[in-house]
Structure 1
């Protein structure tokens, strides 16, 4: 097993790292001032300036995968990404994850990344021209509408939003929430999961359709807070859908294929979250170490108190183990496919946020009262990472899948029936 980075892996990781340190980090105070000013829901000039620089340096749409025949209609679409593998992108995403708003600078932020991959894999050429191209140019934003407030959405077969065929249109009725990205004023298109056939097999009832956010009958009822943070200007919304008419050409892949698309979307999306989460943990460990070295209590540096030595050591061990699991999962996705790597994806999806929350909690403790204030980003990062134990499937669902796979390995074969 070779742990050395290839020339390409190191090249892109180092370029992203340099860009983060040279351009993004110096603008953190500018971002905070602009984001805090009214109106809350707006396009931030700080990000737009940095997007221009990133695009000029070729650090743009890094997540877009190499063309590999997944595109069901047309593999010739000239998308603008640099076609990094999951493993190559993992190293870049960790660097981006150190500052929560940085991925958008590289046009690599959720939910746009997942939505662009869906359009790339499953969209028609007309759908790509209409929505994928402007998304890849960074001109618009998108949202993903799957979760619903009235059902346990950890089981996606429970969703109740109706997508009913009516001539040349589908009519959509339902209610969605945690519609990530819908608060952004540039959000122009959503990918919505609903049911086209309530009587079909439970995994063939669902479909995914492209729904513009400005259609009649679409009401953004409210934006939701996360531990008191509104997450502006990105935002998570609760949306009411009342007789929303969408052209039939907006259906993705075909009726009843929503679960198929979801699996293609959520696999890469889950690992993207985990990659960025490792960067958050590294940032928290650095902040914790610097704080402990700069403060004294009871006659010596806090860093020299044995309890903190133990916490620092555990943080470094946990980060290194989590990174290796993440890279293993990414490598398996590249070489064996998402389906073969599903157990590793589930494991890293549980491990990464759990690990980062422990490191963040210790970093907050090291900062004392300052750690829970807004003077540092630790409290915000904790609230943000805590949501990942729900996003793209709650921990319990992934642990159940891991356990079932483990039990399957040791289950006794069924006895042969007598002739």
Structure 2
């Protein structure tokens, strides 16, 4: 395993770091002002994001997440250090580069499983950032940590599918630019558990689809990336051609979509951890308590040292996982993907907590990004599968070695 940056990664890192310094970090206070503007259309993405996108495209910092000809052609190992940089400003940098969830996962899904017609109607506009999208799997009435529990029905009726059900915490669905929702539901409840589900493409303006409400996360509406919605599907009818892949393939498609998404989250999370540690160190050097700088207090030094050690451990594990995904495929890297999904959010959450503590009251206020970052990282321990599900699967695989 060689994690040294190759020439292309080095070049892109330098370009991206310059872009962050010149455009992204200065845009953060602008984003805050635009989000607070009472005249802003509800749930719309602030104009500063479009400005950043235009600049990113000029610099060819676009669709870096997607391998192959449709994207930037980077491997996971090449993309990892770039995603880490964007994680330092998670509200602005990923969408500026068209590398933000849930669109990234949906583009990967369409690229891998979509038909040529689906590519032209939906994938191309997503790649150009002309539209946004959402992915509807989680439901309020079942334990969605087990995706086989989904109760939404997708029933074939002649040349159409008819959808009935409820979904919630559907990220991006509140955004006025969201034009497509990929819906997972059951087409055959009598089939084997992992062959009951299918996915269909539902235009957001389809009759019978109601956006019931926007949902908050620890009080944050996350409007900067389109919010989270509760959706109601009542006899929603779409053409049978909107099926993704084959009937009964929904669970497998979901797993294929979530694998890269999980490592992308972890890559960005390391950037968040670096920014939290930087904020903690600056604060510790600036503030004096009980006659000494905070930086001279043993407990602060312990937090700083622990944070650095944990970040380095996480980065190496994420890079190993990226390398495995490139060399033996997602299935061969399954254990490591689960390991980083378990370790990264909880570790970065710990680092953010110490940064908040070092800032005192300011750490839980809107005057620093720490509180919002903490809320997002705590949520990541549920998104793309909760910790406990990954631990259960990982433990079973480990135990089988000795049976």
Specify the TM-score bucket, using the shorter chain as the normaliser: over 0.9
Cα distance in 1 for partners of 2:351, 2:263 equals 19
Aligned position for 1:96: 86
Question: Is the aligned partner of 1:127 residue 2:129?
Answer: no
- TM superposition score normalised by structure 1: 0.94
Cα distance in 2 for partners of 1:225, 1:367 equals 25
Cα distance in 1 for partners of 2:346, 2:45 equals 32
Question: Is the aligned partner of 1:160 residue 2:142?
Answer: no
In 1, are the aligned partners of 2:64 and 2:73 still within 8 Å (CA)?
A: yes
Residue among 141, 151, 159 paired with 2:132 = 141
State the 1:18 CA deviation.
Answer: 1.6
Residue among 301, 309, 319 paired with 2:301 = 309
SS in 2 for 1:410: coil
Question: Is the aligned partner of 1:85 residue 2:102?
Answer: no
Aligned position for 1:31: 31
- Comparing 235-244 with 42-51, greater Cα deviation is found at 42-51
SS in 2 for 1:163: strand
Aligned position for 2:214: 223
Q: Which runs of 5+ in 1 are unaligned?
A: 68-78, 412-419
Aligned position for 1:402: 394
1:351-362 alignment to 2 at 5 Å?
351-362=343-354
Aligned position for 2:182: 191
Cα distance in 1 for partners of 2:295, 2:219 equals 32
SS in 2 for 1:96: helix
Residue among 268, 288, 311 paired with 1:319 = 311
State the 1:159 CA deviation.
Answer: 0.4
Cα distance in 1 for partners of 2:341, 2:322 equals 12
1:293-372 alignment to 2 at 5 Å?
293-372=285-364
State the 1:142 CA deviation.
Answer: 0.2
How far does the alpha carbon of each residue in 1:366-398 deviate from its partner, in whole angstroms, 9 at most, with x for none? 001100111111000000111100111000010
Aligned position for 1:55: 57
Report runs of 4+ in structure 1 exceeding 6 Å deviation. none
- TM superposition score normalised by structure 2: 0.98
Question: Is the aligned partner of 1:373 residue 2:365?
Answer: yes
Question: Is the aligned partner of 1:240 residue 2:200?
Answer: no
SS in 1 for 2:139: coil
Aligned position for 2:102: 111
Aligned position for 2:168: 177
Cα distance in 1 for partners of 2:318, 2:128 equals 29
State the 1:92 CA deviation.
Answer: 0.6
Aligned position for 2:8: 8
Cα distance in 2 for partners of 1:381, 1:394 equals 18
Cα distance in 2 for partners of 1:18, 1:195 equals 47
Cα distance in 2 for partners of 1:3, 1:130 equals 38
Aligned position for 1:415: none
Aligned residues: 399
State the 1:4 CA deviation.
Answer: 2.2
SS in 2 for 1:121: helix
Cα distance in 2 for partners of 1:3, 1:85 equals 12
State the 1:13 CA deviation.
Answer: 2.0
SS in 1 for 2:401: helix
SS in 1 for 2:184: strand
State the 1:239 CA deviation.
Answer: 0.3
State the 1:407 CA deviation.
Answer: 1.1
Aligned position for 2:44: 42
Q: Which runs of 5+ in 2 are unaligned?
A: none
- Comparing 134-143 with 42-51, greater Cα deviation is found at 42-51
Aligned position for 1:414: none
Aligned position for 2:256: 264
SS in 1 for 2:262: helix
